[in-house]
Amino acid sequence: MEKLKVLLVVGNLEMKRHLDGILSKDPDLDVVAEANNAYTARDKIIECDPDVMLLCHDLPRMSGITFLGKLMPQRSTVTLVIAESRFEDDAYHAGARDFVACGDNCEILEHENICSRLKKAVGGEWLAAAKRAPVLNAAQMNRNSGGEGDGITSIIAIGASTGGTEAIATVVRGLRRDIPGIVMVQHMPEGYTQMYAHRLDNEGEVSVKEAVSGDVVKPGQILLAPGDKQMRIVRINGRYQVECKHGPRVTGHCPSVDALFESVARVAGKEAIGVLMTGMGSDGAKGLLAMKNAGARTIGQDEKTCIVYGMPKVAYEIGAVKWQVPLDQIAQKIYYLLDKRQ
């Protein structure tokens, strides 16, 4: 069996000595390269094509988590991050597969099962997905990743109604764990959304949960709006989070696709992809148009594969849909747009 190729990225010499000692004891791991800053790490990824990266946050010139946030939209490298506990949410939002809390006391690393956690992080499907895209160059790294106007997709918004439960399941089965975070509305009454989220969670690689206020939008996860609340996104300290609040119906619904999409247009702009699927009425059409006008890429399910061609039809008629796509090709189209950055 081939050894797992590890890239070690660490700026602190004492921590490097501890990690070198830990990794050298495992016969299944091969440290193929080391780097002490983000720019060298980028070059080593190109040169050595590691299976997994062990990344310390405390690096010179650019922090490890900032580097990871810039890297993940271009190449989904399986990564375990080591940092102080206060950076845990930031690490997962940037795309970390696992996180180890460690401050100044490097000896704590001896008790964190680093080697087994590296091997667990690299599952077969995840590893296959991690090899598919080129690494960004130095000029791209120097841009503000995930900030205003860089055009990197960092959030996907999906809405559906009648016929949507099975249609959404079809899309979910086509998604991998490297997908940017997804926020979603499916018209359902209170109590049913939690059960539906649990069902979707077992459909494929991505995780699905019923959203609660304060949930961070993370790669590889779908946040489903609860059945009795309006869900919108906000941006706090550079991270997308959801707010789920009781409120009036919007376009006749609570939760409403329009309410979600309009918040995505306002907060995420060109960083987003919007998908409007089968459903009766017009909910989501105006919101999808707002997203398109803000620079987002927009997809509407085509008439032939809709159970009810209502919501995506209205969206198409008002010019909100850039691409009409059959149901079984929606996941593929999302990945195409992610790769092309159109």
Looking at residue 48, its pLDDT comes to: 86
User: Where a domain ends, among 112, 141, 170?
Assistant: 141
The model's confidence at residue 103, banded by pLDDT at 50, 70 and 90, is low
23's tokens: 């990794």
CATH number at residue 30: 3.40.50.2300
For residue 150, is it within any domain? Answer: no
φ and ψ at residue 139, rounded to 5 degrees: -65, -40
Is the pLDDT at 295 greater than 80, yes or no? yes
Say yes or no: 160 and 293 in one domain.
yes
pLDDT for res 72: 62
Of the candidates 286, 300, 307, the one whose C-alpha atom is nearest the C-alpha of residue 333 is 300
Which of the listed residues 141, 174, 195 is the one where a domain comes to its end? 141
Per-residue pLDDT tens over the stretch 105-116? 666 666 657 888
167 vs 204: which has the higher pLDDT: 167
Q: Is the pLDDT of residue 292 over 70?
A: yes
- Shared domain check, 270 and 247: yes
* 174 and 100 both lie in a single domain: no
Q: Is the pLDDT of residue 265 over 80?
A: yes
Does a structural domain hold residue 147? Answer: no
Q: For position 131, what pLDDT does the model report? A: 41
Classify residue 258: in a domain, yes or no.
yes
Which pLDDT score, from 0 to 100, does residue 341 have? 53
pLDDT at res. 14:
86
- Alpha-carbon span 307 to 166, nearest angstrom: 10
User: pLDDT confidence of 53, banded at 50, 70, 90?
Assistant: very high
Based on the fold, state whether residues 264 and 333 are members of the same structural domain: yes
Name the most confidently modeled range: 43-57, 101-115, 143-157, 316-330: 316-330
* Annotated catalytic residue within 187, 253, 256, 258: 187
pLDDT at 170 over 90: yes
What's the confidence (pLDDT) of residue 105? 62
Q: Residue 251 above 70 pLDDT?
A: yes
Task: Give the residues across from 323 on adjacent strands.
Answer: 299
Instruction: Tell me if residue 18 is catalytic.
Output: no
Q: Assess whether the previous peptide bond of 255 is cis (omega < 30° from 0).
A: yes
Asked if the model's pLDDT at residue 50 lies above 70, the reply is yes
Indicate which CATH number applies to the domain containing 291: 3.40.50.180
**Does residue 214 sit in the same domain as residue 98?**
no
In this structure, the answer to whether residues 174 and 136 fall within a common structural domain is: no
Higher pLDDT, 162 or 124: 162
Quick one: 298 and 321 in the same domain?
yes
Same domain, 192 and 321: yes
Q: Tell me which residue range forms the domain holding 269.
A: 155-340
Domain count, the chain: 2
In a domain, 80, yes or no: yes
pLDDT of residue 107: 64
In this structure, are 120 and 164 located in the same domain?
Answer: no
| Amino acid code (one letter) for 50 | P
Structure letter (DSSP) for residue 279? B
- Predicted pLDDT of residue 80: 87
pLDDT, tens only, 111-156 = 657 888 888 877 643 344 444 444 445 444 444 333 333 345 589 9
Decide if 301 is inside a domain.
yes
Average pLDDT, rounded, for the chain: 85
Q: What is the pLDDT of residue 284?
A: 97
Coil, strand or helix at 216: strand
Residue 116 a catalytic site member: no
Does the structure show a pLDDT above 50 at 194? yes
Active-site position among 90, 178, 283, 302: 283
Catalytic residue among 76, 145, 161, 256: 161
Task: Check if the beta carbon of residue 80 is closer than 8 Å to that of residue 96.
Answer: yes
Report yes or no on 148 lying in a domain: no
User: What confidence score (pLDDT) does residue 133 get?
Assistant: 41
Q: Does the annotation count 161 as an active-site position? A: yes
State residue 120's pLDDT score: 80
Examine residue 317 and state whether it is found in any structural domain, yes or no.
Answer: yes
Identify the domain boundary among 86, 117, 141.
Answer: 141
Check whether residue 8 and residue 119 sit in a common domain. yes
Token pair 């091969």 is found at 30
Least confident of 64-68, 200-204, 234-238: 234-238
225 and 307 together in one domain: yes
- Please report which confidence band the pLDDT of residue 312 belongs to, taking 50, 70 and 90 as the band edges: very high
Q: Would you state the pLDDT for residue 100?
A: 86
Lowest mean pLDDT among 11-15, 184-188, 283-287, 293-297: 11-15
149 located within any domain: no
Query: pLDDT value at position 225?
Result: 97
pLDDT of residue 77: 73
Residues 115 and 232 in one domain: no
What pLDDT does 76 receive?
61
Segment 164-180 shows an average pLDDT of 92
pLDDT at 123: 60
Which residues have a Cβ under 8 Å from the Cβ of 237 and sit 6 or more positions away?
none
Asked if 264 and 272 count as a contact pair (C-beta separation under 8 A), the reply is: yes
